[in-house]
Amino acid sequence: MSDMNVEPAKARSEEARQLASVRSRLERAIKEADERLQAYQDDIQSQKEYLWNSRDEMDHIEKIAARESIQQAVTTGEFVLSQRKRLVKLRQSPYFGRFDFRSQGSDQPMPVYIGVHHFYDEVDKDNVVYDWRAPIASLFYDYETGPAAYHAPDGQVSGTIELKRQFRIRNGQIELMIDSAVNVVDDVLQDELGRATDDGMKNIVATIQRDQNAIIRDEHAKTLIIQGVAGSGKTSIALHRIAFLLYRFKDTLSSQDILIISPNSVFADYISNVLPELGEETVNEIGMETLAKELLQDQYRFQTFFEQTAELLESNDEAMKQRLRYKASPEFLKQLGRYADEVEKQRFATEDLWIARRLLPGWLIEETFRKHRNLDTTARVNQVAKEMEQKIGIQYNYDLMPEERKALKAAIKGMVKQSTLRETYKRFFEWAGQPDMFRPARGGRLEYADVFPLIYLKMRLEGIRSPWRNVKHLLIDEMQDYTPVQYAVIARLFSCKKTILGDTWQSVNPYSASAVDDIRAAFRDATCVTLNKSYRSSYEIARFAQRISPNPDLEIIERHGDEPELLTFTSRKKEIEAIRARIDEFGESRFNTLAIICKTQKQAKRLHKSLEGSHARLQLLSEESQSFAPGVIVCTSHLAKGLEFDHVILPDVSADNFHTDMDRNMLYVGCTRAMHRLTLTASGEASRFVGR
């Protein structure tokens, strides 16, 4: 950091006094909260004792009133407790930024301090710290010193920013203070990017960039699609967007109203810190396989996406690639839609029906059946029978006897051409002239690529009542790994607002990936934004990854570090020894996370066994893994997606192991996980993807 950016001693001394004052006021507020909590606790206890002691003398209404009074005190106490937690969190680091804003017509500029949470001093009746999501806080992210404006609830407020300052405060002490007329955030960003990783994703409120801020504060987009290059912070931005929406619409949106579709449990655990850090409750999360199981009510066994990817990597089966490409095409979805229309027309063979010597015309029965296509078959038959019975009652003024009612239902049920969903789906491929495109996976299970087409057909023919009707905002990560059919299912299941994010350059399975245009086609009201700036990796690592899979739009932040190293050996044994040596170096370094990223799970398992005893915190990630922890992690590119590590080792990058397009994608994903250091090792000749 250049000395010219650091404020003189006088300004630092003033800010130290300001910090001491804020901390003193926070201590006072925490003490007041403790006193209020104790008072509520005493009140609740005395009310409970009174209710118990007077239970025989009180009538039913009095007891209800007493219980409601206790519940009200509990609710208020919980609110005060949540406020106290925020105050305690602020005590360590009350704010990270300050700007002095002179609004039009004002004589004096107003100092505005920005923190993770809002702090209003009840004693002095003063806004001491503003929440980073408050309308006025947007000035900090969107403007340098000079003319500025923000949108307040009452309309636009214009004025001038006369000072802009950034802090890093830890344990109540100012560690860093920068005063600048240029973008302050950039300087602190460089400082933060140079730090070692922790045990999960952290909030980025102190370093949000202008383009990121616009995405976070977009409250109008019905569906927001974020295409972000590796290391652009898209997942973090999406989570901060959720935090902003929870703040902005606190009266109508709660954490219970939000659902995240995440790629795996490790990733879900990795990102689970962010919302609590921002003062919000954790939101619900689900994987696509779990979603599929619930929709199919556990009636079908199927291969997982992880298993599909592993099989492709291990077998490089051309026929399987062909099947996946076909089922991931927009044309396949159109064909499936046309097929569903035909099946729907033919599956109900209607005819005139006589019940109790009264006529029900076939056209009326068919019209009623079509009307209820949103119901499953059994419910649909029951509903048609019910409406036909009502028709007889109105038309002929006749109430059906139980036996006649039973005959009516049986007759309508007999008009439905029954066929299992799997058989109907299998016949699609014959109908489409592509019988070879349907092939079960091992053990008679469905291939993963067939799961969502089957669900789509079920929705069209039988109807599915969504268990997630109450979701008000859906967040989908790793968007490139879902097909048009999956997006068609999601669009039907969730009519709510959506944030969809990913990177089309990071598909772990290029044969069943979606481009942004494919995703956009599924959501007509979509707004698309692009993030091309990469922050995660050092300049040298990002340039190396670019040689593997060039993206002309990618912009690299110039944070310099070590050049990636490519080490080749004459034997596998020497390669393992070199990896062990790097693990020893890691143990002595400032770094917290080292990932050894293999191509397949079998290779990861084998290497993990070879490295046993090399580090106290050595762990193997698998499809069943539930959590992320610092240390030495052995995993695949598939499971490493979305994560970041101080040091990454990619073993066995030999010409024999990495040679297909899918292998290239895996290499790219693996390299782009590294923040500070990247090592590649190979026994024999290195892959052409990494060769100099």
Angle, helix 661-671 to helix 539-548, in steps of 10 degrees: 170
Q: Which residue has the higher pLDDT, 333 or 56?
A: 333
**Residue 502 and residue 443: Cα distance in Å, rounded?**
33
**Residue 89 and residue 517: Cα distance in Å, rounded?**
43
465 burial level (CB within 10 Å; 0-12, 13-18, 19+): exposed
- DSSP β-bridge partners for residue 473: 258, 497
Indicate whether 184 pLDDT > 60: no
∠ CA 414-420-421, nearest 5°, is 120
Residue range 68-114, pLDDT digits in tens? 888 888 888 888 888 888 899 889 899 999 999 999 989 899 999 99
Say which residue the tokens 């960039």 belong to: 209
Q: What are φ and ψ of residue 689, in 5° steps? A: -70, -25
Say which residue the tokens 């599924």 belong to: 522
Indicate whether 7 pLDDT > 60: no
Indicate whether 253 pLDDT > 90: yes
Residue range 528-542, pLDDT digits in tens? 999 999 999 999 999
Q: Which helix (H) or strand (E) holds 602?
A: helix 601-610
Q: Which residue has the higher pLDDT, 510 or 130?
A: 130
Instruction: Tell me what pLDDT residue 179 has.
Output: 80
Task: Give Cα separations from 259 to 284, 462, 471, 486, 620 (angstroms).
Answer: 5, 25, 7, 16, 28
**Residue 580 and residue 323: Cα distance in Å, rounded?**
41
DSSP state at residue 348: B
Q: Average pLDDT of 406-411?
A: 92
∠ CA 253-255-256, nearest 5°, is 95
Q: For residue 310, how many C-alpha atoms fall within 13 Å in the half-sphere facing its CB? A: 18
Instruction: Tell me what pLDDT residue 417 has.
Output: 80
Residue range 239-250, pLDDT digits in tens? 999 999 999 999
CA dihedral 38, 40, 43, 44 (to 10 degrees): -110
> How does DSSP assign 268-287, residue by residue?
HHHTTTHHHHTT-PPPEEE-
- Going by pLDDT thresholds of 50, 70 and 90, the confidence category of residue 206 is confident
| Strand 126-131 relative to strand 119-121, pairing | antiparallel
Q: For residue 550, how many C-alpha atoms fall within 13 Å in the half-sphere facing its CB? A: 2
In a 3-state reduction of DSSP, which class is residue 14? helix
Quick one: what percent of the chain has pLDDT higher than 90? Answer: 63
Tell me the H-state helices in 347-401. Answer: 362-371, 377-396
With a CB cutoff of 8 Å and minimum separation 6, the contacts of 492 are 459
CB atoms within 10 A of CB 331: 10
Q: Give the pTM.
A: 0.85
- In 3D, which of 486, 488, 477, 504 has the Cα closest to residue 261? 477
Indicate whether 194 pLDDT > 90: no
Instruction: Tell me what pLDDT residue 2 has.
Output: 39
Indicate whether 136 pLDDT > 90: yes
Quick check: 595 and 635 in contact, CB under 8 A?
yes
- Going by pLDDT thresholds of 50, 70 and 90, the confidence category of residue 186 is low
Indicate whether 346 pLDDT > 60: yes
Indicate whether 407 pLDDT > 60: yes
Instruction: Tell me what pLDDT residue 4 has.
Output: 39
Q: Which residue has the higher pLDDT, 419 or 636?
A: 636
Indicate whether 565 pLDDT > 60: yes
- Going by pLDDT thresholds of 50, 70 and 90, the confidence category of residue 5 is very low
Quick check: 190 and 4 in contact, CB under 8 A?
no
Output the average pLDDT for the chain: 90
Q: Average pLDDT of 272-294?
A: 91
Positive or negative: CA dihedral 267, 690, 651, 582: negative
**Residue 624 and residue 45: Cα distance in Å, rounded?**
45
CA dihedral 386, 388, 389, 395 (to 10 degrees): 150
- Going by pLDDT thresholds of 50, 70 and 90, the confidence category of residue 25 is very high
- Going by pLDDT thresholds of 50, 70 and 90, the confidence category of residue 6 is very low
DSSP state at residue 399: P
Say which residue the tokens 């004002």 belong to: 106
DSSP state at residue 326: H
Q: What type of residue sits at position 313?
A: L
CB atoms within 10 A of CB 423: 9
Instruction: Tell me what pLDDT residue 185 has.
Output: 47
Q: What type of residue sits at position 512?
A: S
Task: Give Cα separations from 530 to 211, 233, 355, 503, 534 (angstroms).
Answer: 9, 12, 63, 10, 12
Instruction: Tell me what pLDDT residue 507 has.
Output: 86
**Residue 599 and residue 657: Cα distance in Å, rounded?**
8
Instruction: Tell me what pLDDT residue 181 has.
Output: 55
With a CB cutoff of 8 Å and minimum separation 6, the contacts of 563 are 540, 544
Quick check: 565 and 260 in contact, CB under 8 A?
no
Residue 223 in tokens: 């569906």
**What does the H/E/C string look like for 15-57?**
HHHHHHHHHHHHHHHHHHHHHHHHHHHHHHHHHHHHHHHCCCC
- In 3D, which of 576, 599, 607, 595 has the Cα closest to residue 653? 599
Instruction: Tell me what pLDDT residue 187 has.
Output: 61
CA dihedral 65, 70, 76, 80 (to 10 degrees): 170
**Residue 55 and residue 33: Cα distance in Å, rounded?**
32
**What does the H/E/C string look like for 462-498?**
CCCCCCCCCCCEEEECCHHHCCHHHHHHHHHHCCCEE
Quick check: 319 and 458 in contact, CB under 8 A?
no
Which of 184-198, 305-319, 633-647 is least confident? 184-198
Q: Average pLDDT of 273-288?
A: 90
Beta strand residue intervals within 547-599, DSSP E: 555-556, 565-569, 593-598
Quick one: what percent of the chain has pLDDT higher than 70? Answer: 96
Positive or negative: CA dihedral 303, 632, 592, 557: negative
Instruction: Tell me what pLDDT residue 78 has.
Output: 85
Q: Average pLDDT of 245-256?
A: 94
Q: What type of residue sits at position 641?
A: K
Q: Average pLDDT of 637-645?
A: 93
Quick check: 367 and 387 in contact, CB under 8 A?
no
- In 3D, which of 256, 246, 283, 234 has the Cα closest to residue 131? 246
**Residue 415 and residue 176: Cα distance in Å, rounded?**
77
With a CB cutoff of 8 Å and minimum separation 6, the contacts of 497 are 221, 222, 223, 472, 473, 474
Indicate whether 318 pLDDT > 90: yes
Angle, helix 377-396 to helix 362-371, in steps of 10 degrees: 130
Residue range 451-475, pLDDT digits in tens? 999 999 999 888 788 889 899 999 9
Residue 562 in tokens: 């070590």
